[in-house]
Every structure is written in C-alpha cells, then in structure tokens.
Amino acid sequence: MIVEASAPGKVILFGEHSVVYKGSAIVLAINKRARVFAEKRNDDRIFMDSEDLGYSGFFIGDEYHPVKGAPWRGRSLTAVNLVSRKTMEKLGVQSGLNLKLRSEIPSAVGLGSSAAICVATAAAIDGLFEGKLSREEICALAYEGEKVIHGRPSGVDNNVSTFGGVLKYEGGVGFEKIILDESPCFVIGNTKQKRSTGRMVQIVSELRQRNQSIVDEIIETLGSISETGLSYLLKHDYKHLGELMDICHGLLTSLGVSTPMLDKLVHASRESGAMGAKLTGAGGGGCMIALVDEERMAAVEEAIRIAGGSPMRVDVSYEGVKTRRVD
C-alpha cells in the first residue's frame, strides 16, 4: 500500500518576525503543495527519495547513509526522519519506510516548504498505518521537525500548512481562521537567494540585544499592522492594505532582514503598478509579495523578471493537509 499526503506552502502577508515575539501574523496557504508518498519496508531503514532536490539516502536510527548526493545533504532530511519516527511512536508502530518527497514549493525561500514536507510526512505515515491522528496532532508532529530545521520557530508555518486558508496567528497562543469572501491577487517575486530562517531570526534577536527598546517598538508595530491589515483585507480596501505592506517592508528593512535584491523586486513591483509590496517570510533573500490588480498583473510579473527575480502568481488555498491511498 502506498499513501500520498500533500500539504500547502504559505506566504506571510503581515507579522513575520513579530510572531516570534508573540505578535500577530496574517498568513495565507497557497496553491503550491508538497507531497509525500509513504510505503512500508521490511527492514528498519527509512529511505528518502528526494531526487527533485538532487539527493537520496536512508536513515538507520539517526544515522544518514547517502545513496545519491553528498553525506551532508542528510542534514536537511534529519527533520523528516525525526517526524517519521515520532509519528510511528505516537501511533505505537515500528517499521521501515520508503518516503518519496516531492514539492512544487521552492525550498529555503520563505514559502514554508519544510513545514509542508513535515506536515505531509506525518499525515502520510498516519494514513499508511490507518491511524486516526487529528490535524492538531499532525501539526504538533510537524513542529518537531520544524524545530530541527529552524531552531525556535513560531509555529506559524506548520499551522497554516496543516489547516490551510487564511489564518490570524498569534505566537504562543494559536490561530483564528479567517474567511475571505473575495481573495485579492498576489504575485510572489523569488530572488532565488536561499537563506536560513533560523539565521534571520538570530540576526533580529542580536539587533534586539543591542537596541532592545527600539527593536521592541518595531516588533510591536509590525504586530499591530497585522491587526489593521486584517481589517482592510476583510473590507477589500486594497489601497490601504497595500500601503501597510509598504510600511511593513520599511520596518522589516530596519530590522536588517531585507537585501538589495529584495528591495529591487519590491520597488520594481511598485513602479509597475502594484498597490503594495514587501518581503515575505524571514528575509535575507527568499521572496517578496506584491498586491496587484488583475489588469496590472502581467506588467508586475514582467517587472520582477526584468529586475532578476522569478515571478509566481499565487492564490489562497483553503485545502490544508490531505491524504489518499494511491494503490
């Protein structure tokens, strides 16, 4: 039996970094998904085929054995190994596994690809053993993997990937599902510069150690922008929503998480008609997001391309994690 589970990536509209300090964030699941196909093995190996990324190998316990690609590649698969073992532990089963990992979400650019893989891993294994884990339990198992990858993540990524849709997430508290009766159009601009979320969180934390009250005010403002931004989103007031995205980009830049390339894509989008644009996710490379009228969409995409980025239209996906038997 093979079970496939898939889970969506995400974009943060408001509140990145602030949510690490218990502020609010508005986050959207997107129509790009990661997929994990799980099958039992007769030995105790957890074999991972992540050939899209150019490497594959297996774990015996915590030890990685490469089959394709350098041994250090195993580091990025450690989280999947941990989630697999913890999921089986939770289900009270023990088995070797073949896991095929596939993703439409570009990795390490702030779109939640690692969380989506961790969520899909827990769900696929749950499905394989005909377990009955709740979405909350799957989300918690994925968070264990997220901690391995990012250090001290807020949990926003694994939550939105599990539950889908639009969430107002408060670090340390949980989330509220937001229902939009109209979805605005967004274009993502990928700088194609990979970066580590954990490292970017550390940069903000170090800046805060040197300038605590100033950084605290910026973080607090970023959180309150999420609240105001949500009210504009619900009222379809995209002019003001865009303005807040611009302010947000400025504040994130002041925290040291923008880059010249992110700034270039943000300005190129605004100059070609976006109503607002900001970096999204941890920054330091990765992606920006622009709020765009349907008529300006092609112009903004072209401007991002000319500025050296890779544009991608995204829609909100209301479908969280889902599982199906393949054979």
Sites of contact with ligand MEV (CB under 6 A): 12, 16-17, 19-20, 110, 153-154, 156-157, 197, 201, 281-282
For ligand MEV, the closer of residues 11 and 46 by Cβ is 11
CA 302 to chain centre: 25
**Residue closer to ligand MEV, measured from CB, 241 or 282:** 282
Strand ranges inside the chain, DSSP E: 2-14, 24-41, 46-50, 55-60, 63-68, 96-103, 166-170, 174-178, 186-190, 276-280, 287-291, 310-314, 322-325
Nearer to ligand MEV, 21 or 55 (CB): 21
CB-based contact 144:86 (threshold 8 Å): yes
- Closest approach, Cβ 151 to ligand MEV, in A, equals 9
Residue of 49, 52, 62, 157 marked active site? 157
Q: Is 281 exposed, middle or buried (0-12, 13-18, 19+ CB in 10 A)?
A: buried
CB of 246 to ligand MEV, least distance (A): 19
- How far out from the chain centre does Cα 150 lie? 11
Here the tokens at position 263 are: 């700034």
Task: Give the residue with the Cβ less far from ligand MEV, 24 or 197.
Answer: 197
Beta bridge partners of 66: 57
Residue 157 designated active-site:
yes
Shortest separation between residue 110's beta carbon and ligand MEV, angstroms:
6
Least separation, in Å, of the C-beta of 115 and ligand MEV?
8
Task: Give catalytic residues, as residue numbers.
Answer: 157
